[in-house]
């Protein structure tokens, strides 16, 4: 029952979408009926177009996000525990954090061309900052009593980071990764819309330019569903990781 109530607004939107288009309240050119959109999506799955481009996009997003999580977490912890690292990297983070990440699309294309590399680099650069800040803020919030206790037992700096700082940083770090997960989809589609020959963004731009609006909406809904599913799966994983804190 709770599940039905929770997703009832989405059902209402779907019904309003279908009815408004079928009844002519909005132009079917600008908003095709949802049933036609779903049918086009199924046809694209059958001919392999959606699957092929989707796998390309997911590879780019996973590679860029994976690098951002690993390197961002290490940099954040290092900034929190080694002052020279913080002094060196903090100004860079402060300058680039508010920068619209889509502004880096031309830069990454100049560096790595129109292939996978430029998309992966863009996602990596854009997603690394929220992960870095999450790890940094979480590590800085480590309980001093735990640190003092570990030091009194002769723990090395690396042991302190692994046994005390990292567990303390996990909630903030996981929040940063969730932000980066959403950002990876935004950057992926944005970059593929502008400079790509494969992927979800490329399909959206290509189908829209050719007037295949029902198929274009099908790709948009596919991206939205995948983003939603990835976020829900990540929340379940994060809950399991943090269950020991309860």
Residue 73 resides in a domain: yes
- In a domain, residue 158? The reply is yes
Quick one: pLDDT band at residue 148, thresholds 50, 70, 90?
very low
Look at residue 197 and give its three-state secondary structure.
coil
Domain assignment present for residue 137? The answer is yes
Q: Is 113 left (phi over 0), alpha (psi -120 to 50) or beta?
A: left
Tell me the whole-structure pTM to 2 decimals.
Answer: 0.86
Residue 11 placed within a domain: no
* Residue 97, domain member (yes or no): yes
Beta carbons of 144 and 120 less than 8 angstroms apart = no
Is residue 118 within 8 Å of 111, Cβ to Cβ? yes
Specify the number of domains making up the chain: 1
- Residue 162 confidence (pLDDT) above 70: no
The stretch 208-228 carries a mean pLDDT of 93
pLDDT band at 23 (very low <50, low <70, confident <90, very high): confident
Domain interval for residue 109? 33-245
Is 28 within the bounds of a domain?
Answer: no
- Cα of first residue to Cα of last residue in the chain, in angstroms, is 27
Segment 60-84 mean pLDDT: 91
- Asked whether residue 202 is assigned to any structural domain, the reply reads yes
Higher pLDDT, residue 138 or 76: 76
The tens digit of pLDDT for each residue in 36-49 reads 999 999 999 999 99
Identify the pLDDT of residue 40: 94
As a whole number, mean pLDDT of residues 60-85 equals 91
Residue positions counted in the chain: 246
We report the CATH number of the domain holding residue 54 as 1.10.3720.10
Q: Residue 5: inside a domain, yes or no?
A: no
Question: 220-235, pLDDT tens digit by residue?
Answer: 999 999 999 999 999 9
Check residue 27 and give left, alpha or beta (phi > 0: left; psi -120 to 50: alpha): beta
60-69, 79-88, 209-218 — which is least confidently predicted?
Answer: 79-88
Q: Return d(Cα 172, Cα 138) in angstroms, integer.
A: 5
Q: Tell me what pLDDT residue 241 has.
A: 81
Q: Looking at residues 161-184, what average pLDDT do you find?
A: 82
């Amino acid at each position: 029952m709770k599940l039905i109530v929770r997703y009832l607004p989405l059902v209402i939107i779907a019904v309003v979408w279908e009815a408004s288009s079928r009844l002519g309240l909005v132009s079917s050119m600008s908003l095709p009926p949802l049933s036609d959109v779903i049918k086009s999506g199924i046809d694209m799955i059958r001919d392999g177009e959606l699957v092929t481009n989707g796998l390309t996009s997911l590879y780019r997003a996973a590679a860029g996000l994976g690098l951002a999580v690993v390197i961002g977490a290490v940099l954040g912890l290092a900034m929190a525990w080694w002052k020279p690292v913080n002094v060196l990297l903090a100004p860079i983070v402060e300058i680039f954090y508010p920068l619209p990440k889509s502004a880096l699309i031309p830069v990454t294309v100049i560096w790595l061309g129109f292939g996978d590399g430029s998309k992966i680099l863009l996602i990596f650069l854009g997603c690394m900052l929220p992960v870095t800040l999450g790890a940094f803020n979480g590590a800085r919030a480590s309980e001093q009593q735990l640190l003092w206790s570990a030091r009194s037992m002769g723990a090395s700096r690396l042991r302190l980071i692994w046994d005390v700082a990292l567990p303390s940083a996990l909630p903030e770090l996981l929040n940063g990764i969730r932000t980066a997960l959403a950002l990876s989809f935004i950057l992926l589609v944005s970059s593929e819309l502008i400079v790509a020959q494969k992927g979800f963004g490329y399909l959206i731009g290509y189908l829209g330019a050719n007037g295949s609006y029902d198929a274009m909406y099908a790709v948009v809904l596919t991206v939205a569903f995948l983003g939603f599913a990835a976020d829900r799966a990540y929340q379940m994983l994060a809950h399991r990781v943090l269950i020991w804190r309860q």
